[in-house]
Amino acid sequence: MSLFDKTTDGLAAAINFRQLNHSVTSSNIANAETPGYKAKKLDFENALARALDTDGLNKMSASHPDHFLNGVGGMTHLGADVYDNPEGPITNDGNTVDLEKEMAKLAENNIMYKAAVQLINKKLASLRYSVTEGAR
């Protein structure tokens, strides 16, 4: 039995993904002037949705070590794919970074990260209240 519920585990995974997304986006911004650099993209929403299927409602299974796990232990084996972004415009020097889009993505990621941190803090505060004040 876990001390934390599915929501807390999901929020923790989302925070980790937001940190990874920040790194990927920051790398894209840093390489905006690098000739031949291919912008990277992180796809974690689908992986998070697969991992949150702890009840097995979607009847997914991992038949290969590289597949995403679901159900019990799914959150601990959560991963995200980082790949070359096919949506970026190609400049004359072969660079595919759209600086304005990357800056907007970084700002959005920052907001979503802060929201996830606030939510997990509220969940932990309610747990702390239950342990300290609930017994009185």
Residue 18 tokens read as 């937001």
Q: What is the pLDDT of residue 104?
A: 97
pLDDT band at 71 (very low <50, low <70, confident <90, very high): very low
Average pLDDT over residues 56-80: 54
Average pLDDT over residues 123-134: 83
- CB atoms closer than 10 angstroms to residue 18: 21
Q: What is the pLDDT of residue 2?
A: 56
Yes or no: say if 71 and 53 are a contact pair by the CB < 8 Å rule: yes
Share of the chain above pLDDT 90, in %: 38
How do the domains of the chain map onto residue ranges?
Answer: 6-132
Matching residue, tokens 């993904």:
17
> What average pLDDT does the structure give for the chain?
80
Q: Which of 75, 69, 65 is nearest to 6 (CA)?
A: 75
Average pLDDT over residues 17-28: 93
Of 22 and 89, which is predicted with more confidence? 22
Average pLDDT over residues 33-51: 82
Q: How many Å apart are CA 109 and CA 112, to the nearest integer?
A: 5
